[in-house]
Amino acid sequence: MRDLTPFRGVRAQNILTDLQHPRFVLVALNLRDRQAFDMYRIDLETGAVTLEATNPGDVLTWATDNDFVIRGATALVGKSGNSIVRVRDAVDQPWRDLVVMPFESALFSGQVVGGSLIAGFDPDGKSLVIQSALESDKGALVRVSLRDGRRLEVLAQDPQADVANGGLGDGPSVLRDPVTDVIQAVEFDYSAPRWVFLDPKIKADFETIGQLLVEHHGALAPARRRLRSRREIEPRSLAALSRRQDSRSLAHRAGPERSAGHDLEREWNGEGLREAKREVIYVLYPDEGHGFARPENNRDFYGRVEEFLAKHLGGRAEPWKKVEGATAELR
């Protein structure tokens, strides 16, 4: 293990990775100026750190194009309160304001540190997909021209809710094909999560997985599937599914809010797969509740999941090793 950002007093955030470029990671560092986070490209093989984009002081987050190059940014102008979607045509070209959203039409993701209005660059290379409420009462997912910012198409909208955020301050909650970058589904959340499907194949996948989990699904990929699921009324659980081998990894956090009924349901899921001769790894952390509070359990959990996903979905993984102090119970 080595420190990829060995800079004293420097903070790292806005970390970006790309399936098609596994050798590199992009990360925002306040290395040049402690008040501004510039974007750097890190070579995971050599450890080289090179400047990718300089923050003029108003950028909240950065976005990459389909070649994993920083070409988009969400910015907030302090004096006016305007949110700005900013782009550049190439890494050696100047930045320009593509879409300016007045404070009166501002969305949460364009006003908070870590927020992003950009869902992604369209595979056609001519348009950008963003969240916008400029021509509607709610934040819709729209495609705009990369040339002049003109709205080209409304991809998805809901009369009662904005496009959901992937998390506090995150960008638009969408599912995209990790190979083609095509957006396949968009999430809205008025009183409960609701997905609008742009790709009928993904809708069929949701319905199939829903028959097993009856839960909200968070992340899918095409032939090889990954799934994060949760219920709004119980502690979160995570499952990893392999379409080819029907293998599954279950990790749950206990706590005072956990009920015997929840335990029985989870154990039933695992036993059913074992009876079908499928590999199941069932891990319980009895001293955890909503989220991991103990770093030892957190490291243990991610180590197990990474190894499991690499085995069944492919890709690199650091071999899991026993973490001293972790309270994991295999069942």
What are phi and psi for residue 128, nearest 5 degrees?
A: -130, 140
**Which pair of structure tokens corresponds to residue 239?**
């499952």
Same structural domain, 149 and 258: no
In this structure, the answer to whether residues 246 and 313 fall within a common structural domain is yes
User: Is 60 exceeded by the pLDDT of residue 210?
Assistant: yes
Q: Is 47 helix (H, G, I), strand (E, B) or coil?
A: coil
In this structure, the answer to whether residues 174 and 204 fall within a common structural domain is no
| Same structural domain, 168 and 298 | no
| Residue of 43 and 247 predicted with greater confidence | 43
The model's pLDDT over 296-323, given as tens digits with 9 standing for 90+, comes to: 998 999 999 999 888 888 888 888 898 9
Last residue of a domain, one of 177, 198, 219: 198
pLDDT at position 230 over 90: no
Please say if the pLDDT value at position 207 is more than 90.
Answer: no
The enclosing domain of 181 has a CATH number of: 2.120.10.30
Instruction: Give 151-188 pLDDT, tens digit per residue.
Output: 999 999 999 999 988 765 578 989 888 778 889 999 99
In this structure, the answer to whether residues 85 and 119 fall within a common structural domain is yes
Whether residue 193 is found in the same domain as residue 74: yes
Q: How many domains does the chain have?
A: 3
| pLDDT(82) > 50 | yes
Domain extent, residue 156, equals 58-198
Residues 106 and 176 in one domain: yes
Q: Are residues 289 and 206 part of one domain? A: yes
What token pair was written down for 161? Answer: 């809710």
The DSSP bridge partners found for residue 281 are 249
Q: What is the mean pLDDT of the chain?
A: 82
DSSP alpha helix (H) spans, 240-317? 260-275, 295-313
- As a whole number of angstroms, the distance between CA 251 and CA 61 comes to 31
The per-residue pLDDT for 62 is 94
Return the structure tokens found at 120.
Answer: 């992604």
Q: CA-to-CA distance for 221 and 206, rounded, in angstroms? A: 11
Q: Are residues 69 and 41 in the same domain?
A: no
Q: What is the mean pLDDT of residues 56-83?
A: 93
Whether the Cβ atoms of residue 95 and residue 110 lie closer than 8 Å to each other: no
Q: Are residues 12 and 63 in the same domain?
A: no
Do 63 and 190 sit in the same domain of this protein? Answer: yes
Q: In terms of pLDDT, which residue wins out, 105 or 129?
A: 129
Counting beta carbons within 10 angstroms of the beta carbon of residue 160, is it exposed (0 to 12), middle (13 to 18) or buried (19 or more)? exposed
- Tell me, yes or no, whether 148 and 267 share the same domain: no
Residue 252 CA from chain centroid, whole number: 20
Greater pLDDT, 243 or 294: 294
Angle at 225 between CA 291 and CA 181, to 5 degrees: 100
- At 180 the pLDDT is 82
Q: What is the pLDDT of residues 132-147, one digit of tens each?
A: 989 888 899 999 999 9
